[in-house]
Copies of this chain bind each other. A is one copy, B any other.
């Protein structure tokens, strides 16, 4: 479980950051909500010092915006932010898929097989897109990122990109019925990785991310016009 326990500093700050992130990504703290230091301090029964550290952490993760001398708020993601997010995601995950393929071990195929079987079960149980929301999709991408063997890519995806993606989804209720298609694409990517075919794995992953973006973009159009 505990793969990367970075613990940037101090135990309290890390705990606060975890709880706050959970609240934000669960939608309990909506976009734009003010994060006053004193309120958070008394909520967590702690001083303002750790609270500030936690807010800085979440700011680095990109789910909180801090205006100096003014305060911290839950970040508001616009359409341009979403596009930028999917662009860098395509680059990093395609690279991760290529690296994973080039470093594929004999047991790789089996590992993917178990994971994807489990995901197929989840989709059968909840046909209406729980796959994309419930973490199954995230699981697959995390496995690929770990297999890539590059701590920098893994760290960026886990600590910045995925949290921002979640923030985007919690706002726009992105639960298209793309679960089955996504699973099929995952299977082809897994095959390419297990075969050690880096070029195809990278291409398929890039296409997979682009499809995901296309689906999300359609939903973004339906929602309100953007602020900035």
Q: A residues touching B (Cβ–Cβ < 8 Å)?
A: 7-11, 49, 52-53, 55-57, 59-60, 66, 68, 84-85, 87-88, 90-92, 94-95, 99, 150-153, 156
Contacts and interface: CB of A to CB of B under 8 A. Distances in A.
Given A90-B95, A91-B94, A8 B59 contact: yes
Contacts of A92: 88, 91-92
Contacts of A95: 87-88, 90-91
A32 to B, nearest CB: 19
A121 to B, nearest CB: 33
Given A87-B99, A95-B88, A68 B10 contact: yes
Contact of A49 (B9, B10, B49): B49
B9 A150 contact: no
Contacts of A94: 91
Given A88-B150, A92-B92, 15 more contacts: A9-B52, A9-B55, A9-B59, A9-B66, A53-B53, A53-B56, A56-B57, A60-B60, A84-B150, A84-B153, A87-B99, A87-B153, A91-B94, A91-B95, A156-B156
A105 to B, nearest CB: 18
- For the complex of A and B, the 5 pairs showing the least CB-CB separation, nearest first, are A91-B95, A88-B152, A84-B150, A84-B152, A60-B60
A197 to B, nearest CB: 18
A84 B145 CA distance: 13
Nearest to A83: B150
B68 A151 contact: no
Nearest to A62: B152
A95 B99 CA distance: 16
